[in-house]
Structure 1
Amino acid sequence: MKKKVILGGAGTLLLIILIWFFSGSTAVEGGEVFIEAKKGTFKVEITTTGELEAEKSVKILGPNGLRAAQLWQVKIDHIVDEGTVVKKGDYIARLDQSELSDKMGSRYNELQQSLSKFTQTKLDTALELRAARDELINLRYAVEEKEIILSQSKFEPPATIKQAEINLEKAKREYSQAKENYKLKTQKAVAQMQEAAAELADDQAGYDFLEQMKKSFTITAPESGMLVYHREWNGTKMGIGSTIRAWDPVVATLPDLSTMISKTYVNEVDIRAINVGQQVVIGLDAFPEKKLSGKVTNVANIGEQKPNSDSKVFQVSILINESDTTLRPAMTTSNTIIAETIPNVVYVPLECLHSQGDSITYVVKKDGLGFAKTEVKVGEINANEAVIREGVQEGDKLYLSVPQGIDDAPIAFIKEENSLADN
């Protein structure tokens, strides 16, 4: 037990020493820790976590024409490892061809049916027109025969001659009608052949299209670069077994690593303080000793809800000024956005601020051997400190922790101090 007490006291003493070492305005008196209010330039900073990505990148797309083939989604059968450096034309991925093969089989059957129909139509029309031509020849012979009979009947009775004339007229009419019918049958045969040929050409083109698409199910690199897996709408990386869709056929990307951005998200409370052009200090989790600089280049106008969160966030893009060969996509970043710089103001640590009720904020000042609760008007705030507009002056010693007996002590309100000053 005694050993634990000694260790606890040593830990407290170490904490006090560290606070004093890192802040010249901090003091320890009688076991209490005080901070002196500072005056100077105050930075309103917003700290977020982000992820590196290339500002520009080449998208590696799946087959063109998935919609035309009515293939709404296709799975990735195989893909090379992320981070692989590839050259233009190198193998990237292979897509599952099972559904495509089924469609090709159906299309091939349709093609064979169309070919059979085309051949049958060609034979039927040829036979029909041949029969029509034979009929025309026979009818022409019949006309010639009736003409001979008529010429030979000039010495016959008038009734016989009249009958021969009527027979000749009927033969000529039948021959004339047969010629008109032959024209119609020819037009009909042409239309039937055109229809069969068009259906055959359509099925042939459809099959050829699918056969050509099959080749594009093996995906190659459009340019040289380092392969980075594409992220889906929910942020998960695509890989083997993932699905590409007809309306978003991106498989992976080849980023341009010479210009990088940090993509981060800012909550709806802080987003109004973020503007394009603001300077940013960027840290890398992978290289804690390295610090980069950047500036805000884009602030989303519409918020979104992140998975497993009730709050809305807004996407912010930060362009990194430096070009560094160690930077890689998907590296985690810490981004300190300098939203505002305010000169010549008094500011104190947030730990010094306390509240009473819903609208009164106060600090605890060192007052001789005791303390005084004083109302303050708080201005801008960053992650660690707050600007004090009224109630605290430079050099005032403030309690970092709440002293005993503070609850019953009265508060010196700002209005009361102003009225005393006026008197």
Structure 2
Amino acid sequence: MSFLKNKKYVASGVTVILILIFWLAFGSESEDNPAIYTTPKQGTFKVEVTTTGELRAKNSTSIRGPEGIREFRIFNVPIQRLVPEGTVVQKGDFVAELDRSEITSSLQDAQLELEEEKSQYESAQLDSTLTLSQARDNLINLEYSLEEAEIAVEQSQYESPATQRQVKIDMERAKRELEQARKNYKTEVRKAEVTLREIETDLTQQRREVQRIQEVIKQFTIYAPENGMVIYKRNRDGTKVTEASSISAWDPVVAQLPDFSVMNSVTYVNEVDIQNIRKGQLADIGLDAMPDKQLTGVITDVANIGEQHPNSDSKVFQVVIEVNEADTTLRPAMTTSNTIHISSVDSALYVPLEAIHSQDSVDFVFKRDGLEPVMQQVVLGLMNDNDVIIKEGLGMNDQLYLSTPPDTANIEKNLLSPEVLQKYQNQENEKKIEADPSENMTPERELESTRRGENGPPANRSNR
């Protein structure tokens, strides 16, 4: 009987001890601010950038409007009619009609000038005809005068020497006048020919001007240069050329006929993540319209210059991802979700970003040591949107605070040895020498890289 009582007392004592341990472990924290813990994880760590993009054909044929309208001082032409986007057309099918009002005005002015040139040419012909006709009449009269003078010379042989001398002088004068008139007539003929030739040249040029305008006017009705699907041209600001829009004389493209055999996903990456994007990186591509379809791609182009998008405070950089698969269901302007694979580390030890804090350029975590927290310095590696690799300072069984402990005034600090820190610093320097980080980096990227560190998280980690 006494044995049973002793056994009962032992069981009660064990229960009390377990309750005390449970209270010390979980109940000693403030009920207003209970501690939340986590432990490091180990496995494959992936650094990825997720973006939203839009499908576009890698190659396409431009449907162009009239060329050379700048010669007629026309710089923008409104579109009166345009087939709906997505229309499948055959070569020679109607695509668009442009506003002819301005070019028609130029044609009318050119036709008026042509009529004036014609009038001038006809007037010059009449003047030349009249002038030469008078010159020919004058030649005939002078020939008659010379003939009369020769007759007078023949009849004066029986006259006095003085009279004979006088009629001979008159005959010589008549000869000279006739010869001079003949020379003048030849000069008048050449002068008339030059005048008519000049006016005829102007007339020909004006006719060609009218013909050129008429040929350009024909181009205001635009037809498909080949078979395909009409996709509206996209301007630099992201807007599309549609009906009632205007096309520029410097770039008179109305629409595109894309080649669906090779597609690109065009996306924009913010200035913080762009420093990690390189040509040749692989990406997974999903389609919002077809969630079950998964595609792959490779980055073929990364913009060096950022641009400001509307309703955005930060700059973004255009990134082009070429789709590996050829799929007949892909269409331009489809929305894509792109996951760009930056890097991957096997058997990495990593923790949530919320557990990382920074003070005076020192990265640390709050680690549980028995029943009290301590500040543990750590060396960070690659990071993604949620986690960061711990290179040094933690083990798999450590318990970390996800929130700041309530009392950190006299908290113990565990710092890494200078030798350990120097080792990782040397490794970082070697990486920077092997892969020049300044290559293809804009000033915005260099500034962000300096602030953030190539492989480390931002300075305000504790606020994430």
Distance 1:412-1:135 versus aligned 2 partners, 3 A rule: same
Share of identical aligned residues, percent?
Answer: 49
Aligned pairs for 1:19-418 within 5 A: 33-357=36-360, 359-406=361-408, 409-415=411-417
Q: Deviations over 1:225-255 (max 9, x none)?
A: 1111111121101111111011010001011
Q: Are the counterparts in 2 of residues 286 and 332 from structure 1 also a CA contact under 8 Å? A: yes
Give the letter aligned to residue 252 of structure 1: A
Q: CA deviation at 1:407?
A: 6.2
* Distance in 1 separating the partners of 2:180 and 2:396: 119
Aligned 8 A contact 2:373 2:411 in 1: no
Q: For residues 156 and 342 of structure 1, what CA distance do their matches in structure 2 show?
A: 138
Further displaced range: 331-340 or 229-238: 331-340
Match of 1:17 in 2: none
Deviation of 1:152 after TM superposition, in Å, equals 1.8
Rounded Cα–Cα distance in structure 2 between residues aligned with 1:406 and 1:332:
48
Structure number with the higher strand fraction is 1
Deviates more, 1:381-390 or 1:189-198: 381-390
1:108–1:207 CA contact under 8 A, matched in 2: yes
- 1:401–1:245 Cα change, 3 Å: same
Shift of 1:342: 3.4
Given the superposition, is the C-alpha separation of residues 292 and 36 from structure 1 closer, same or farther in structure 2, using an over 3 Å criterion?
farther
**TM-score normalized by the length of structure 1:** 0.85
| CA deviation vs aligned residue, 1:201-247 (integer Å, no higher than 9, x gap) | 11111112222222211111111111111111211011111110110
SS of residue paired to 2:91: coil
Structure 1: 5+ residue stretches without partners: 1-28
The 1:407–1:185 alpha-carbon spacing in structure 2 relative to 1, beyond 3 Å, is farther
Paired residues of 1:38 and 1:395 also in contact (CA < 8 A): no
Change (3 A) 1:418 1:169: closer
Flag the 1:408–1:164 CA change in 2: closer, same or farther, 3 A.
farther
TM-align CA RMSD: 2.3
* Structure 2: distance between partners of 1:198 and 1:216: 27
Contact 1:299 1:315 in 2 (8 A): yes
* Native 8 Å contact 1:285 1:333 kept in 2: yes
2 CA distance for matches of 1:362 and 1:313?
A: 32
**Mean alpha-carbon deviation: is it higher for 81-90 or for 343-352?**
343-352
The answer for unaligned runs of 5 or more in structure 2 is: 1-25, 28-33, 422-464
- Cα distance in 2 for residues equivalent to 1:360 and 1:152: 139
Q: Deviations over 1:53-101 (max 9, x none)?
A: 0001111101122122321110011111111111111111111111111
Q: Number of aligned residue pairs: give it.
A: 390
Q: Secondary structure at the match of 1:393?
A: coil
- The Cα shift of 1:33 comes to 4.4
2:417 is paired with a residue of what secondary structure? helix
Amino acid at match of 1:280: A
Q: Which of 367-376 and 45-54 deviates more?
A: 367-376
